[in-house]
Protein backbone atom coordinates (compact mmCIF):
# COMPACT_ATOMS: atom_id res chain seq x y z
CA UNK A 1 0.00 0.00 0.00
CA UNK A 2 1.44 3.37 -0.97
CA UNK A 3 1.20 6.31 1.40
CA UNK A 4 2.37 8.94 -1.06
CA UNK A 5 -1.11 10.33 -1.71
CA UNK A 6 -1.65 11.25 1.95
CA UNK A 7 -1.15 14.89 2.86
CA UNK A 8 1.77 13.96 5.15
CA UNK A 9 3.04 10.55 4.02
CA UNK A 10 6.02 10.82 6.36
CA UNK A 11 3.79 10.13 9.38
CA UNK A 12 3.09 6.55 8.27
CA UNK A 13 5.61 3.76 7.99
CA UNK A 14 4.97 0.19 6.88
CA UNK A 15 5.68 -3.01 8.77
CA UNK A 16 8.41 -3.67 6.19
CA UNK A 17 10.01 -0.32 7.04
CA UNK A 18 9.94 -1.10 10.76
CA UNK A 19 11.46 -4.54 10.18
CA UNK A 20 14.31 -2.87 8.30
CA UNK A 21 14.94 -0.29 11.06
CA UNK A 22 14.81 -2.40 14.22
CA UNK A 23 18.43 -1.59 15.01
CA UNK A 24 18.49 1.97 13.68
CA UNK A 25 19.85 4.20 16.48
CA UNK A 26 17.93 7.16 15.09
CA UNK A 27 14.59 5.36 15.50
CA UNK A 28 12.73 4.37 18.63
CA UNK A 29 9.80 1.99 18.31
CA UNK A 30 7.11 2.62 20.95
CA UNK A 31 4.22 0.32 21.80
CA UNK A 32 1.16 1.87 23.42
CA UNK A 33 -1.97 -0.19 24.06
CA UNK A 34 -5.34 -0.15 25.74
CA UNK A 35 -4.27 -3.32 27.58
CA UNK A 36 -1.12 -2.44 29.58
CA UNK A 37 -0.25 -6.13 29.98
CA UNK A 38 -0.10 -6.81 26.26
CA UNK A 39 3.45 -5.56 25.84
CA UNK A 40 4.80 -8.16 28.28
CA UNK A 41 3.26 -11.02 26.28
CA UNK A 42 5.42 -10.14 23.27
CA UNK A 43 6.38 -7.00 21.38
CA UNK A 44 8.44 -5.86 18.41
CA UNK A 45 12.15 -6.43 19.16
CA UNK A 46 13.66 -3.25 20.55
CA UNK A 47 10.31 -1.58 21.20
CA UNK A 48 9.79 0.27 24.47
CA UNK A 49 6.48 0.48 26.29
CA UNK A 50 4.70 3.76 27.05
CA UNK A 51 1.63 3.28 29.22
CA UNK A 52 -1.07 5.87 28.60
CA UNK A 53 -2.09 5.88 32.29
CA UNK A 54 1.20 5.81 34.19
CA UNK A 55 3.48 7.50 31.65
CA UNK A 56 1.39 10.09 29.83
CA UNK A 57 -0.98 11.28 32.54
CA UNK A 58 -0.43 13.39 35.61
CA UNK A 59 -0.87 11.12 38.62
CA UNK A 60 -2.72 13.69 40.75
CA UNK A 61 -5.01 15.72 38.49
CA UNK A 62 -6.79 14.81 35.29
CA UNK A 63 -4.24 16.22 32.90
CA UNK A 64 -1.14 15.20 31.00
CA UNK A 65 2.40 15.12 32.27
CA UNK A 66 4.27 18.41 32.41
CA UNK A 67 7.41 19.44 30.55
CA UNK A 68 9.80 18.18 33.22
CA UNK A 69 8.24 14.73 33.35
CA UNK A 70 7.99 14.51 29.57
CA UNK A 71 11.72 15.21 29.35
CA UNK A 72 12.36 12.47 31.92
CA UNK A 73 10.16 10.01 30.03
CA UNK A 74 11.99 10.65 26.79
CA UNK A 75 15.42 10.50 28.41
CA UNK A 76 14.57 7.21 30.15
CA UNK A 77 13.77 5.57 26.83
CA UNK A 78 16.81 6.95 25.05
CA UNK A 79 14.81 9.39 22.94
CA UNK A 80 16.47 12.67 21.95
CA UNK A 81 14.94 15.61 20.12
CA UNK A 82 16.25 14.13 16.87
CA UNK A 83 14.91 10.61 17.37
CA UNK A 84 12.15 9.44 15.06
CA UNK A 85 9.52 7.89 17.34
CA UNK A 86 7.39 5.24 15.63
CA UNK A 87 4.23 4.30 17.52
CA UNK A 88 2.16 1.16 17.18
CA UNK A 89 -0.33 -0.74 19.33
CA UNK A 90 -3.57 -2.65 19.62
CA UNK A 91 -7.11 -1.63 18.59
CA UNK A 92 -6.04 -0.56 15.08
CA UNK A 93 -3.53 1.91 16.56
CA UNK A 94 -6.02 4.08 18.40
CA UNK A 95 -3.79 4.21 21.50
CA UNK A 96 -0.72 4.71 19.33
CA UNK A 97 -2.42 7.75 17.79
CA UNK A 98 -3.33 8.95 21.28
CA UNK A 99 0.32 8.72 22.38
CA UNK A 100 1.44 10.57 19.25
CA UNK A 101 -1.15 13.26 20.01
CA UNK A 102 0.23 13.72 23.53
CA UNK A 103 3.73 14.01 22.05
CA UNK A 104 2.42 16.83 19.87
CA UNK A 105 1.51 18.79 23.00
CA UNK A 106 5.28 19.13 23.36
CA UNK A 107 5.97 19.62 19.67
CA UNK A 108 7.83 16.36 18.97
CA UNK A 109 7.25 16.36 15.23
CA UNK A 110 9.63 13.48 14.44
CA UNK A 111 6.86 10.97 15.03
CA UNK A 112 5.07 8.37 12.92
CA UNK A 113 2.58 5.51 13.13
CA UNK A 114 3.29 1.94 11.98
CA UNK A 115 0.40 1.36 9.62
CA UNK A 116 -1.63 -1.63 10.73
CA UNK A 117 -0.30 -1.76 14.29
CA UNK A 118 0.09 -4.98 16.27
CA UNK A 119 -2.67 -6.62 14.25
CA UNK A 120 -0.79 -6.40 10.96
CA UNK A 121 2.62 -7.21 12.47
CA UNK A 122 1.23 -10.39 14.04
CA UNK A 123 -0.77 -11.35 10.95
CA UNK A 124 2.45 -11.27 8.95
CA UNK A 125 4.10 -13.63 11.47
CA UNK A 126 6.83 -11.14 12.22
CA UNK A 127 9.04 -11.64 15.29
CA UNK A 128 7.92 -10.81 18.82
CA UNK A 129 10.01 -10.88 21.97
CA UNK A 130 9.54 -10.59 25.71
CA UNK A 131 12.98 -9.06 26.17
CA UNK A 132 12.74 -5.51 27.52
CA UNK A 133 15.38 -3.32 25.86
CA UNK A 134 17.68 -0.99 27.77
CA UNK A 135 18.91 2.15 26.08
CA UNK A 136 21.46 4.69 27.30
CA UNK A 137 19.71 7.75 28.76
CA UNK A 138 19.28 10.56 26.27
CA UNK A 139 19.17 14.31 26.62
CA UNK A 140 15.82 15.82 25.73
CA UNK A 141 14.72 19.45 25.90
CA UNK A 142 10.99 20.10 25.58
CA UNK A 143 9.15 23.41 25.27
CA UNK A 144 6.28 24.27 27.55
CA UNK A 145 3.21 22.25 26.67
CA UNK A 146 1.31 23.95 23.84
CA UNK A 147 -2.21 22.68 24.44
CA UNK A 148 -3.89 25.31 22.27
CA UNK A 149 -2.51 23.81 19.04
CA UNK A 150 -4.15 20.39 19.20
CA UNK A 151 -6.34 20.33 22.32
CA UNK A 152 -9.82 21.69 23.02
CA UNK A 153 -11.22 22.41 26.50
CA UNK A 154 -14.84 22.36 27.63
CA UNK A 155 -15.37 26.15 27.46
CA UNK A 156 -13.93 26.20 23.96
CA UNK A 157 -16.23 23.35 22.98
CA UNK A 158 -19.24 25.22 24.38
CA UNK A 159 -18.25 28.31 22.37
CA UNK A 160 -17.88 26.05 19.33
CA UNK A 161 -21.40 24.71 19.86
CA UNK A 162 -22.81 28.22 20.21
CA UNK A 163 -21.46 29.20 16.78
CA UNK A 164 -22.56 25.91 15.19
CA UNK A 165 -18.95 24.83 14.73
CA UNK A 166 -18.34 21.36 13.27
CA UNK A 167 -17.80 18.49 15.70
CA UNK A 168 -17.22 14.78 15.13
CA UNK A 169 -18.40 12.22 17.68
CA UNK A 170 -16.26 9.14 17.01
CA UNK A 171 -17.94 6.84 19.56
CA UNK A 172 -20.19 3.90 18.78
CA UNK A 173 -23.69 4.67 17.46
CA UNK A 174 -25.21 3.46 20.75
CA UNK A 175 -23.15 5.98 22.73
CA UNK A 176 -24.03 8.74 20.28
CA UNK A 177 -27.74 8.01 20.66
CA UNK A 178 -27.49 7.97 24.45
CA UNK A 179 -28.29 4.27 24.76
CA UNK A 180 -24.82 3.49 26.15
CA UNK A 181 -22.41 5.37 28.40
CA UNK A 182 -19.38 3.44 27.15
CA UNK A 183 -18.54 1.10 24.30
CA UNK A 184 -20.49 -2.15 24.04
CA UNK A 185 -19.13 -4.88 26.36
CA UNK A 186 -17.52 -2.33 28.70
CA UNK A 187 -18.85 -1.31 32.14
CA UNK A 188 -21.57 1.28 31.59
CA UNK A 189 -20.34 3.88 34.06
CA UNK A 190 -18.56 7.18 34.26
CA UNK A 191 -21.25 9.70 33.33
CA UNK A 192 -24.68 10.72 34.57
CA UNK A 193 -26.18 11.35 31.16
CA UNK A 194 -25.91 9.83 27.72
CA UNK A 195 -26.21 11.43 24.31
CA UNK A 196 -24.00 13.68 22.21
CA UNK A 197 -22.89 17.28 21.95
CA UNK A 198 -25.42 19.27 19.89
CA UNK A 199 -24.48 19.51 16.24
CA UNK A 200 -21.91 16.71 16.37
CA UNK A 201 -21.95 14.21 13.53
CA UNK A 202 -21.52 10.53 14.27
CA UNK A 203 -18.53 9.00 12.47
CA UNK A 204 -17.18 6.06 14.50
CA UNK A 205 -13.39 6.13 14.53
CA UNK A 206 -13.08 2.59 13.17
CA UNK A 207 -14.64 3.60 9.86
CA UNK A 208 -11.29 5.15 8.93
CA UNK A 209 -9.53 1.76 9.13
CA UNK A 210 -9.39 -1.25 6.85
CA UNK A 211 -9.97 -4.81 8.03
CA UNK A 212 -6.22 -5.40 8.43
CA UNK A 213 -5.86 -2.38 10.72
CA UNK A 214 -4.30 -0.06 8.16
CA UNK A 215 -5.76 3.33 7.36
CA UNK A 216 -8.09 3.71 4.42
CA UNK A 217 -6.83 5.36 1.27
CA UNK A 218 -7.14 9.10 0.74
CA UNK A 219 -10.04 8.41 -1.60
CA UNK A 220 -11.79 6.31 1.04
CA UNK A 221 -11.22 8.90 3.75
CA UNK A 222 -12.46 11.75 1.59
CA UNK A 223 -15.54 9.75 0.73
CA UNK A 224 -16.19 9.18 4.45
CA UNK A 225 -15.54 12.65 5.85
CA UNK A 226 -16.22 14.93 2.90
CA UNK A 227 -18.65 13.30 0.46
CA UNK A 228 -20.79 11.54 3.08
CA UNK A 229 -20.57 14.03 5.95
CA UNK A 230 -19.76 17.39 4.40
CA UNK A 231 -16.51 18.29 6.16
CA UNK A 232 -13.76 20.22 4.39
CA UNK A 233 -10.15 21.26 5.12
CA UNK A 234 -11.04 24.92 5.70
CA UNK A 235 -13.14 24.18 8.78
CA UNK A 236 -12.14 24.35 12.44
CA UNK A 237 -13.12 20.88 13.68
CA UNK A 238 -13.28 19.38 17.17
CA UNK A 239 -13.23 15.61 17.66
CA UNK A 240 -14.32 13.82 20.82
CA UNK A 241 -15.19 10.40 22.24
CA UNK A 242 -15.31 9.27 25.87
CA UNK A 243 -11.82 10.12 27.20
CA UNK A 244 -10.10 11.39 24.05
CA UNK A 245 -8.31 8.26 22.88
CA UNK A 246 -10.58 7.14 20.03
CA UNK A 247 -10.95 10.76 18.91
CA UNK A 248 -7.14 11.07 18.76
CA UNK A 249 -7.27 8.43 16.01
CA UNK A 250 -9.72 10.57 14.01
CA UNK A 251 -7.67 13.69 14.81
CA UNK A 252 -4.63 11.94 13.33
CA UNK A 253 -6.54 10.96 10.19
CA UNK A 254 -7.86 14.48 9.59
CA UNK A 255 -4.67 16.32 10.52
CA UNK A 256 -2.01 14.18 8.87
CA UNK A 257 -3.64 11.96 6.28
CA UNK A 258 -6.10 14.51 4.87
CA UNK A 259 -4.13 17.63 5.78
CA UNK A 260 -6.79 19.48 7.79
CA UNK A 261 -4.81 22.23 9.50
CA UNK A 262 -7.28 23.23 12.21
CA UNK A 263 -8.37 20.12 14.11
CA UNK A 264 -8.40 19.80 17.89
CA UNK A 265 -9.12 16.85 20.14
CA UNK A 266 -11.43 17.37 23.11
CA UNK A 267 -9.87 14.92 25.56
CA UNK A 268 -12.34 15.74 28.34
CA UNK A 269 -14.88 14.21 25.97
CA UNK A 270 -17.99 12.49 27.27
CA UNK A 271 -16.72 11.71 30.77
CA UNK A 272 -16.57 15.47 31.27
CA UNK A 273 -19.44 16.69 29.08
CA UNK A 274 -21.86 14.02 30.30
CA UNK A 275 -21.34 15.14 33.91
CA UNK A 276 -21.36 18.92 33.43
CA UNK A 277 -24.15 21.11 34.81
CA UNK A 278 -25.99 23.37 32.38
CA UNK A 279 -24.52 22.17 29.12
CA UNK A 280 -26.72 21.04 26.22
CA UNK A 281 -27.01 17.36 25.33
CA UNK A 282 -28.87 15.81 22.43
CA UNK A 283 -30.02 12.24 21.91
- Provide the annotated active-site residues: 241
Q: What's the CA gap between 181 and 268, in Å, rounded?
A: 14
For the sheet containing 237-240, what is the strand order?
201-202, 167-169, 237-240, 263-266
How far, CA to CA in Å, does 120 sit from each of 68, 100, 220, 242? 35, 19, 20, 26
Q: Annotate the chain with three-state secondary structure.
A: CCCCCCCCHHHEECHHHHHHCCCCCCEEEEECCCCCCHHHHCECCCCEECCCCCCCECCCCCCECCHHHHHHHHHHCCCCCCCEEEEECCHHHHHHHHHHHHHHCCCCCCEEEECCHHHHHHHCCCCCECCCCCCCCCCCCCCCCCHHHHECCHHHHHHHHHCCCCEEECCCHHHHCCCCCCCCCCCCCCCCCCCECCCCEECCHHHHECCCCCECCHHHHHHHHHHCCCCCCCCCEEEECCCCHHHHHHHHHHHHHCCCCCEEEECCHHHHHCCCCCCCCEC
Amino acid sequence: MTTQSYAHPEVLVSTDWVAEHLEDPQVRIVESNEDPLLYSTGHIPGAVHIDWVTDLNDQVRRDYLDRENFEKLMARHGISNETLVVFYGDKNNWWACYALWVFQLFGHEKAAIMNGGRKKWEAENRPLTRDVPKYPPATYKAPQRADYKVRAFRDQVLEHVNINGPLIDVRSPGEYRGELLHMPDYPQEGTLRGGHIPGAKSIPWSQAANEDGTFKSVEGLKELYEAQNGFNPDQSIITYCRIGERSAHTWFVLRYLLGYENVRNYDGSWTEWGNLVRVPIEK
